[in-house]
Amino acid sequence: MTLKLYNTLTRKKGIFKPIKKGHVGIYGCGPTVYWYQHIGGMRRYIFEDILVRTLLFNDYKVKHIINVTDVGHLTSDADTGEDKIEKAVKKEGKTAKEITHYYFNDFEKDLEKLNVMMPDKWAWATEYIKEQIGLLKILEKKGFTYETSDGIYFDTSKLKDYGKLVMLDKEGLQEGKRIDVKEKKNKTDFALWKFSEKPGERQQEWDSPWGVGFPGWHLECSAMAIKNLGKQFDIHTGGIDNMNPHHINEIAQSETAFGKKPWVKYWLHNDFLNLKLKEKMSKSTGQIVRLETLEEKGYSPMDFRYLCLLTHYRKIIEFDLKNLDAAKNSLKRLKNILSELKNGSGKTNKRNLEMAKKQFTEFVNDDLNTPRALSYLWEILREDRLNNSEKYRLALEFDKVFGLGLDKEDKIKIPADVKKLVKERENCRRKKDWAQADNLRKKIKQKGFSVEDVGEGSKVRLV
Ligand code: AMP
Ligand code: ZN
């Protein structure tokens, strides 16, 4: 079945055709690991996860790389400001490695909780310094670079199609916007290599043919993507804020170095998750809402995942607790229905299953339309022509894309006093003291739990 994706490069939704039949290479811009990731970032990786799951659902073989920015991302996009990691080093009094690994581990745990499939590789920028220097050498040899007192820059005036991803108006930009040019030849030029101000002072710096320093953030992503996926590949993703200047600079470097146009066939960008009334949720402001913040308020990571699926990835999510409550309730209802359908009887009809699966695939294959696919799941559950086992089978099939863990029981912590009552009740049942067993069931219910008899034992659930 055809898969349609919206491509930022062409500004059109079109049929996806990979470079190599049946195989897809994806590179996603990952976290800068100087601080905790907020739920806005989590939305981004849930989107990417849905993309990967949809490709797998369509029987593609996927090679998926996400990078970890552990050096070179400056606090300003204009090649000024501090390296975010070095800034954290000073603030926390730890080594750069301690910081980047600590925040990466925290991030990875969140992804696991959210049932996000891990990429085939996490590409750490500091492990690709050789490749980055190699790429810069090619650009230098081709005459696209120049040196200033603080680094080596890419001369964007030499590229006719610079900024095509965002239809950048170079002329307007040259005259208009306030961008700190300093020694740059053009406002859009960007750093490929920055010199250490005082070598020996930074925690992370390397020798290079141009002097001791560190790579530019854009160079990192080009070098890591090419090393892992080749000089041309299928899909590159990021949040919409990555488009300009990060992605247009990645394109400039990669297409200049190897002449393959387009370097990447499909560019997919997710929109933001905003806290209502705030602009965008940003790590640099220090005020962030983390997955843990939601968990402390009694929401599960899956409630948040469900909320994300309710909005198309190219639309903004205006986040507040009211819409998270609604998502939580819907997911709870859904799981309750499924636990009832689970042991349902009825022979499954292959044609019924295939037709429903086809319809579902059409929805997710329409540029990952998860809101429509989710409402289709609800339609299926209400469909009289399907029996319980067909409904259950379909829900689990759709969940290969949703990743909501619909077949998993919610992990609930049963308090010791409830456990004790359940044990007592089991004893009563064994002695056939039904009246007392019913009494105990009522007591258990008063404590917020339901109990179901399973053979000799019992199953306890939240009411
Ligand atoms: P960062 O760690 O800030 O470099 O961001 C990692 C990725 O998350 C980038 O691809 C960003 O575009 C994306 N991102 C950051 N903030 C948000 C947000 N509030 N909503 C959605 N995506 C975001
Ligand atoms: Zn990147």
Ordered by start, the domain boundaries in the chain are 4-270, 274-402, 416-462
Q: Nearest C-alpha to atom 18 of ligand 1 is from which residue? A: 40
Find the ligand nearest to 311 CA: 1
**Closest listed residue to residue 128, CA positions, set 65, 59, 203:** 65
d(C-alpha 156, C-alpha 171), whole Å: 12
CB count within 10 Å of CB 409 equals 10
- Ligand 1 close to Cβ of residue 25 (< 6 A): no
Question: What pLDDT, on the 0 to 100 scale, is given for residue 35?
Answer: 95
Task: Note the pTM of the prediction, 2 decimals.
Answer: 0.88
* Ligand 1 lined by 41 (C-beta under 6 Å): yes
User: What integer pLDDT is reported at residue 168 of this predicted model?
Assistant: 74
- Could you tell me the distance, in angstroms and rounded to a whole number, from the CA of residue 361 to the centre of ligand 2? 30
Q: Which atom of ligand 1 is nearest to the CA of 242?
A: 12
How many whole angstroms from 330 Cα to the centroid of ligand 1?
27
Cβ(314) – ligand 1 distance below 6 Å = no
Cβ(221)–Cβ(264) below 8 Å: no
HSE value, Cβ hemisphere, 13 Å, CA-based, for 328: 13
Q: What does each C-alpha distance from 402 to 14, 91, 328, 396 come to in angstroms?
A: 23, 39, 15, 9
**Of 44, 116, 124, which is best to mutate to test ligand 1, by the most ligand atoms within 8 angstroms of its C-beta?**
44
R_g of the chain computed on alpha carbons: 26
Predicted local distance difference test score (pLDDT) of residue 176: 42
Q: Is 163 in the pocket of ligand 1 (CB under 6 A)?
A: no
- Class for the domain spanning 4-270: alpha beta
Q: What is the Cα–Cα distance from 146 to 158, expressed in whole angstroms?
A: 12
- Sorted by sequence, the CB contacts under 8 Å of residue 337 that are 6+ apart come out as 381
Whether residue 281 has its Cβ less than 6 Å from ligand 1: yes
CA 273/CA 39 separation, integer angstroms: 8
The CB of 273 under 6 Å from ligand 1? The reply is yes
- What's the rounded Cα separation, in Å, for the pair 35 and 94? 13
Strand partners, 319: 275
pLDDT at 316: 97
Q: How many whole angstroms separate alpha carbon 325 and alpha carbon 177? A: 42
Q: Which residue owns the Cα nearest ligand 1 atom 14? A: 41
Q: What is the pLDDT of residue 175?
A: 47
Helix (H, G, I), strand (E, B) or coil at 224: helix
Please tell me the distance between residue 262's alpha carbon and the centre of ligand 1 in angstroms. Answer: 24
Indicate the fold that domain 274-402 takes in CATH.
Four Helix Bundle (Hemerythrin (Met), subunit A) (1.20.120)
Closest atom of ligand 1 relative to the 283 alpha carbon: 3
Taking the C-alpha atoms of residue 147 and residue 77, their distance in angstroms, rounded to an integer, is 19
Give the start-end residues of each E strand in 240-323.
264-270, 273-275, 317-319
Mutate to test the pocket of ligand 1, among 241, 246, 273 (most ligand atoms within 8 A of CB): 241
Whether residue 275 has its Cβ less than 6 Å from ligand 1: no
**Is the C-beta atom of 215 inside 6 A of ligand 1?**
no
| Residue owning the nearest CA to atom 15 of ligand 1 | 41
Q: What is the pLDDT of residue 275?
A: 83
Give pLDDT tens digits along the chain (463 positions): 899 999 999 999 999 999 999 999 999 999 999 999 999 999 999 999 999 999 999 999 999 999 999 998 999 888 888 999 999 999 999 999 999 999 999 999 999 999 999 999 999 999 999 999 999 999 999 999 999 999 999 999 999 999 999 887 665 555 445 556 889 999 999 999 999 999 999 999 999 999 999 999 999 999 999 999 999 999 999 999 999 999 999 999 999 999 999 999 999 999 999 987 555 565 555 568 999 999 988 899 999 999 999 999 999 999 999 999 999 999 999 999 999 898 877 888 999 999 999 999 999 999 999 999 999 999 999 999 999 999 999 999 999 999 999 998 766 667 788 889 999 999 999 999 999 999 999 999 887 778 888 877 888 876 6
Angstrom distances, CA of residue 34 to CA of 284, 332, 392: 10, 35, 43
Asked, colleague to colleague, whether 4-270 and 274-402 share their fold, the answer is: no
CB-based contact 434:425 (threshold 8 Å): no
Ligand nearest to the CA of 318: 1
> Is the CB–ligand 1 distance for residue 32 below 6 Å?
yes
Which atom of ligand 1 is found nearest the CA of 69? 4
